[in-house]
Amino acid sequence: MQNRNSLIRSITMGAITLLLAASCNKPAESCFISNQVDYNVGDTVYLNASCSENSGVFKWSFRDGTDDTTVINSPFMKHAFSTPGSYEIQLTVGRRDGGSIRKGKKVSTQLITVN
């Protein structure tokens, strides 16, 4: 059995099964898309960061005066802006296992316009 951040192997000896896990040494890579780039005030902006690799912690910053939002194990987010303007949405990702590998692109940004 294998997932994105660890390799798990089971060894069965009689009635005992051992699970062996090895952490992934790959860095988190940040990536996200929105459903469009031009919105009206009050529209819901749907964001999808499932293209991010080796990531399990997603911190979203909308830079509109609202608090940053951190989501664990879900790459999906939605947000509505209440004031017209241009906003640079920022996503910072972290590894699911909490590992700290310095390489990789941990931050992505996207500019949107709210009319």
**Structural domains in the chain, sorted by start:** 27-114 (2.60.40.10)
Amino acid letter for position 77: M
10 contacts: CB under 8 Å, gap ≥ 6: 1, 17, 18, 19, 20
Q: Which of 107, 111, 42 is nearest to 79 (CA)?
A: 42
Query: 74 - beta bridge partners?
Result: none
**Position 7 confidence tier, pLDDT thresholds 50, 70, 90:** very low
Whose CA is closest to 101, among 25, 22, 7? 25
> What token pair was written down for 53?
């690799």
Taking only the tens place, the pLDDT of each residue in 33-76 is 998 889 999 999 999 999 998 888 899 999 999 998 988 889 99
Of 17, 11, 101, 114, nearest in space to 62 by CA: 114
**Better-predicted residue by pLDDT, 13 or 51:** 51
The CA distance from 15 to 22, in Å, is 23
